Structure 1
Amino acid sequence: MSYPPPNDPYGQGQQPPYGQGEQPQYGQPQYGQPQQPYGQPQQPYGQPAPGYGQPAYGAPAPGYGAPGYGPGMPVGYASWIQRVGATIIDMLVYVPFYIVALFFRPTVDPQTLEIHTSPMYWVIYFLGLAAWGYNRWYLAGTTGQSWGKKALGIKLVDGASGQTIGAGKAFLRDLAHIADGFICGIGYLFPLWDEKRQTLSDKICSTVVVRL
């Protein structure tokens, strides 16, 4: 049988002075401090809480997925040498048709001066034109990349919206290249000093070529 300690008139044990009770254990909230919501992890000891403007734990870093970042998004205007390289590749697509067409090129009768053209010449000519149109107008217009542009990692887009321009406008842009060659080919050199690396045909059609 236990007895109360001496000098304890009430038999309940001496209480510690007010405000000097038992210190809370680590991880337990103190009196007057808000309790951590149930199910949420506590901040590890010694690590500051995320400050203003810092992403929360598990959130993506700022700028990720924003326009202009990530695979397939433009990172700047294409250089002049990239554009020249893409054009050369596009022209090489037509070369095989041109070489074959030489064997069926039109001939002139020396006596009557009549021009004789083999039907095969026109077949090859239109096949080559179809290949050119598919590459330069359809692919470049609907996807932004002809075979040459795809090989060089560049893309043709609308200068205002950044979207593809469509096959019709890609065809008109090729026609507008006449303006580039009209002034002794200087229009093709505009991307060397132009702010948006545009040729005259780009300015006429409001298009730009960007790097990916």
Structure 2
Amino acid sequence: MYYYIVKGGKPEGPFQLEDLKSMGLSGTDFVKPEGYDDYKELRELPDLCQELGVRHERAAPQYYATLDVRLLAAAIDYFFAFIIYCLAALAVLIKVDDGSAQGKEEQWMMLVFGLGLIPIVKFLVNVIAEGSRLNASPGKLLLQIRVTDMQGNPIGLGRSFLRNVAKITCVITFGIGYLTGFFDRKQQCFHDKIAKTLVIKGRLI
């Protein structure tokens, strides 16, 4: 196993474990083990902390997803929900198509009703996905961002449900609840403040 470190603001390495032991590294030094995509603080790597005698602890989130990235993730989520609708609509067209005028009318009523279910499907997917161990909806997964609590921990289904319900406040305020994220250092929108959540990203994303 080889490791890279940041020293004087510049990456150096590769080093072996024995080299690191002689460097006197602290928990806040950045280290990238072989195979990792990004540097992490040494204190975030439990196995390496044990080898180097450094206290293991979770670092607080430092990098937050901007509002434009979050809106793009929401658009992707709606796209996936629309794909589900299209597949369901195709099944309706095949099943109900009996050639009669009444059959056509039933088709249109079901298709229009189905359009109204798209936001509900997105809501359910977001609650389940963001409350799971993935901590992210499909759109957020694609953009490599995730939802956590204020310490960077998973939020669970209960807080995920609260967060997504609280988004209604952003809608009834004509988007002002979302715009608050522009003026917040941690990019928290109003529903994030209600649920005490963050949307974070990796350091190099």
Give me the TM-score of the superposition, normalised by structure 1: 0.54
Evaluate the alpha carbon distance shift between residue 208 and residue 93 of structure 1 in structure 2; reply closer, same or farther with a 3 A threshold: same
CA distance in 2: counterparts of 1:178 and 1:126, whole angstroms: 16
Once the two structures are overlaid, the 10-residue window that deviates more, 142-151 or 94-103, is 94-103
Structure 2 residue aligned with 1:96 = 83
* RMSD across aligned positions (CA): 3.9
- The answer to whether the 8 A contact 2:181-2:190 is kept is no
Shift of 1:134: 5.8
**More helix per residue:** 2
Aligned pair 1:135/2:125, yes or no?
yes
Mean alpha-carbon deviation: is it higher for 185-194 or for 128-137? 128-137
2:76 counterpart of 1:76: no
Give 2:142's aligned residue: 151
**What is residue 66 of structure 1 aligned with on the other side?**
43
State the partner residue of 1:198: 188
Percent of matched pairs sharing the same residue? 28
In structure 2, C-alpha distance between the alignment counterparts of 1:141 and 1:93, rounded to whole Å: 18
Task: Please state whether the residue corresponding to 2:185 is helix, strand or coil.
Answer: coil
Amino acid at match of 2:43: A
Could you tell me whether the CA contact under 8 Å between 1:101 and 1:125 is conserved in 2?
no
Take 2:111 and 2:164, find their aligned partners in 1: how far apart are those partners?
Answer: 24
Equivalent position amino acid for 2:137 in 1: S
Secondary structure in 1 matching 2:43:
coil
For 1:126 and 1:167, the matched residues in 2 are separated by: 24
For 1:139 and 1:146, how far apart are their aligned partners in 2?
5
CA displacement 1:19-47 (0-9 Å, x = unmatched) = xxxxxxxxxxxxxxxxxxxxxxxxxxxxx
Separation in 2, partners of 1:78, 1:58? 33
Q: CA deviation at 1:130?
A: 8.4
Note the C-alpha offset of 1:126.
11
TM-score (structure 2 length as normaliser): 0.56
Instruction: Tell me: CA distance 1:184–1:168, structure 2 relative to 1, closer, same or farther (3 Å).
Output: same
Q: Give unmatched runs, 5+ long, in structure 1.
A: 1-55, 106-114
Say whether the 8 Å CA contact 1:158–1:164 is kept in structure 2: yes
Quote how far apart the aligned CAs of 1:123 are.
Answer: 11
2:153 aligned partner, one-letter code? Q
SS state of the match for residue 202, structure 1? helix
Task: Give the structure 2 partner of residue 35 of structure 1.
Answer: none
Q: Which residue number corresponds to residue 166 of structure 1? A: 156
Post-superposition CA distance 1:159-198 (Å, at most 9, x none): 1x32111122212211100111222211111111112101
Higher strand share: 2
Instruction: Write the distance in 1 (CA, Å) between the matches of 2:20 and 2:184.
Output: 43
Between the aligned partners of 2:128 and 2:137, the Cα distance in structure 1 is 8
Distance in structure 1 (CA, Å) of the matches to 2:159 and 2:198: 13
Larger radius of gyration: 1
- Map 1:33-52 to 2 at 5 A: none
Which residue of 1 is the match for residue 199 of structure 2? 209
Distance change in 2, residues 1:195/1:91 (3 Å): same
Query: Quick one: distance in 2 between partners of 1:98 and 1:137?
Result: 19
